[in-house]
Amino acid sequence: MRNLLILLCIILGLSACTKGSVNLAVAPDALLGKWLLQTSTTKSYTNGVLTDSTSFTNNTTNVGFGNPVMAINFNDNLNGTYLQPGLNGIPFTYLISGNQMTYNYGSNVDLPTLFTIKLLTKTQLELIDGTASANGILHDNIYIKE
C-alpha cells in the first residue's frame, strides 16, 4: 500500500509539470537599468487567425533626430519611467508576479498596463502585451540593455 501511495505521488507530481510551459520567475532586480527598444512587432488576429504583421527595428547605436529612442528605465524601488520622443517621460510603478508585469501609470495614460515577460537575460528583455485569441492585437517588443 505504501508503494502505491509513493507511485501515486510521483505520477501526480509529474503530471503537474506541463511541457512547454513558460512561466519565468522574474526578480525585479534583474530589470534594473535602462532598456532601449530594439525591435517591435505588431500582429493582428481575426477569429484567432493571424491577418497582419508589421515590424520595425531601431538603430540603438546611432540615436539621433531621425532615429529617436524609445526606452524603459526601471529603478530599484519598483518604479520607473517610460521614455518616448515628444514626451518628457511617463513615470510608473510596477509589480511582478511570475512572468507577468503590471504597470500603473496613474492618471489617464493610454498605454498597456499588463505585460508578459517572454525573455529576460542580462542584455535582452522581451515584453508581450495584447492577445492572439479571437479578434486582437499582440505587441512583441524586444529591448536591449543600455
At residue 140, the pLDDT reads 94
At residue 6, the pLDDT reads 38
Q: How confident is the model at residue 146 (pLDDT cuts 50, 70, 90)?
A: confident
Q: How many CB atoms lie within 10 A of CB 78?
A: 14
Tell me the one-letter amino acid at 118. K
Domain assignments of the chain as residue spans, ordered by start = 26-145
Long-range contacts from 127-134, C-beta under 8 angstroms, 24+ separation: 127/101, 131/45, 132/43, 132/45, 132/48, 132/50, 133/45, 133/48, 134/45, 134/47, 134/48
Assigned fold of 26-145 = Lipocalin (2.40.128)
CA 121 to chain centre: 12
pLDDT over threshold 90, residue 41: yes
At residue 108, the pLDDT reads 64
Supply the pTM of this predicted model. 0.74
| 57-100: pLDDT as tens digits | 876 665 554 455 789 999 989 999 988 877 778 899 999 999 99
Mean pLDDT of 26-42: 91
| 94-131: pLDDT as tens digits | 999 999 999 888 766 666 688 999 999 999 999 999 87
